[in-house]
């Protein structure tokens, strides 16, 4: 059991506040992923939870116990770093046993804990090897094993896969998902730059930006109902297309006239949009599709990127030259230098006013 609660948590280095108003409730068994642009404070927040960085304001509690001044070793937390930091002269078994030896556990206890962790991580065949005789992925599993043997209530992962190559990243990501399944009562917090890791592993994602929390939600919440323009553009790849316009009709649908021409319909409830309201229309590349009817965007395709299962089309909107990206299923290299007419289902149109989604108005 480990419920974590952050209340108005803040971090300042001298006069400079890097994080403020951090309010977050994390329940036992959740896997929370912190994402956000470089320098937004993801690692700092993780390190404050671990006790490696002082909390300069607010409270952090585990199961109702205030932790601000509790030393790291007594928080019941284990952290796995990006650099595995294994002892090169020790075998896998000794690396995993190290913390337990320091804690003066009995030899039987240590053996049982290491064997169990090795079994969960499929490291049993490698227990007598030195780290140099392991692959990057195996080394990272040993680093995770060192955390597991301590049987912590909370696991913190700071970009654990970022040193691995693409194929190993995928394999190790799946192992982490399996690890979470095998330990349903452990609470995990995971920092990553990788959207796919965030979307696939998280029970909830915390988007940090501008020194605070921009939105917290399930991966699908953030994808389907981003609260603001920042989250809308940060989640999803390529990023959501955004175009300025004005509300010209409210009713069953909201009708928007785009600046420099073009009309769009959005299935946004009437009461949330006002006539004449300046908005930004948002549409994800994957929600655009060729149409014979009234198009939302027209232009000539400049670049196609065929990725196998999808093709990305890059073009400038005919009316004003704004760059638009569309993602079509299949291979469409033939569309390069060709005119396209694309539309989107009104249910897939997002509207933002002063940066905030009208869905949350």
Ligand X SMILES: Nc1ncnc2c1ncn2[C@@H]1O[C@H](COP(=O)(O)OP(=O)(O)OP(=O)(O)O)[C@@H](O)[C@H]1O
**Which CB, 11 or 284, lies closer to ligand X?**
11
Residue 312 near residue 304 (C-beta atoms within 8 A): yes
Q: Name the nearest CA neighbour of 208 among 5, 9, 4, 3.
A: 9
SS3 82: coil
CB of 13 vs ligand X, minimal distance in Å:
3
CB of 120 vs ligand X, minimal distance in Å:
28
121 binds ligand X (CB under 6 A): no
91 binds ligand X (CB under 6 A): no
Among 6, 26, 40, 283, binds ligand X (CB under 6 A): 40
**Which CB, 176 or 207, lies closer to ligand X?**
207
**Which CB, 18 or 359, lies closer to ligand X?**
18
Most distant CA pair in the chain: distance in Å?
A: 75
Structure tokens that stand for 254 in this block:
């909201």
Q: Count residues contacting ligand X (CB under 6 A)? A: 10
What would the DSSP string read from start to end of 314-348?
EEEETTT--EEEEEEES--GGGTT-EEEEE--GGG
CB of 212 vs ligand X, minimal distance in Å:
12
160 binds ligand X (CB under 6 A): no
Among 44, 162, 203, 218, binds ligand X (CB under 6 A): 44
Within 9-38, the residues that bind ligand X by CB under 6 A are 13, 18, 36, 38
Among 7, 21, 28, 43, binds ligand X (CB under 6 A): 43
Q: Name the nearest CA neighbour of 87 among 122, 134, 43, 47.
A: 134
139 binds ligand X (CB under 6 A): no
Q: How many residues does the chain have?
A: 361
- Cβ neighbors of 143 (< 8 A, separation 6 or more) are 80, 81, 84, 85, 86, 160
Residue ranges binding ligand X (CB under 6 A): 13, 18, 36, 38-44
């Amino acid at each position: 059991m480990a419920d974590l609660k952050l209340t108005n948590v803040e971090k300042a280095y001298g006069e400079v506040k890097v994080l403020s108003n951090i309010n977050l409730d994390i329940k036992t068994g959740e896997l929370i992923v912190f994402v956000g642009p470089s320098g937004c404070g993801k690692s700092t927040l993780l390190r404050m939870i671990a006790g490696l960085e002082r909390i300069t304001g607010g409270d952090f509690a585990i199961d109702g116990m205030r932790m601000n001044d509790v030393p790291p070793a007594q928080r019941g937390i284990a952290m796995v770093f990006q650099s595995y930091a294994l002892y090169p002269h020790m075998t896998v078994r000794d690396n995993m046993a190290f913390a337990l030896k320091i804690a003066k556990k009995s030899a039987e206890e240590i053996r049982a804990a290491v064997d169990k962790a090795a079994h969960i991580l499929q490291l049993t065949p490698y227990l007598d090897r030195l780290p140099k005789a392991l692959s990057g992925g195996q080394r990272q599993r040993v680093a995770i094993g060192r955390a597991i043997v301590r049987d912590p209530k909370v696991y913190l992962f700071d970009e654990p896969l970022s040193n691995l190559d693409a194929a190993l990243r995928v394999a190790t990501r799946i192992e982490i998902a399996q690890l979470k399944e095998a330990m349903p009562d452990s609470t995990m917090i995971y920092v990553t730059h990788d959207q796919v890791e965030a979307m696939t592993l998280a029970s909830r994602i915390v988007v940090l930006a501008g020194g605070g929390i921009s939105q917290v939600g399930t991966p699908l919440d953030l994808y389907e109902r981003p609260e603001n323009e920042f989250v809308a553009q940060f989640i999803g790849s390529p990023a959501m297309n955004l175009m300025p316009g004005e509300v010209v009709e409210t009713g069953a649908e909201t009708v928007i006239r785009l600046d420099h021409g073009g009309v769009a319909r959005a299935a946004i409830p009437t009461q949330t949009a006002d006539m004449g309201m300046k908005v930004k229309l948002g549409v994800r590349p994957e929600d655009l599709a060729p149409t014979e009817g009234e198009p939302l965007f027209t232009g000539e395709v400049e670049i196609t990127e065929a990725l196998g299962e999808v093709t990305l089309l890059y073009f400038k909107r005919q009316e004003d030259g704004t760059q638009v990206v569309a993602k079509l299923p299949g291979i469409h290299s033939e569309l390069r230098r060709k005119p396209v007419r694309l539309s989107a289902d009104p249910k897939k149109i997002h509207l933002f006013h002063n940066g905030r989604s009208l869905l949350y108005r």
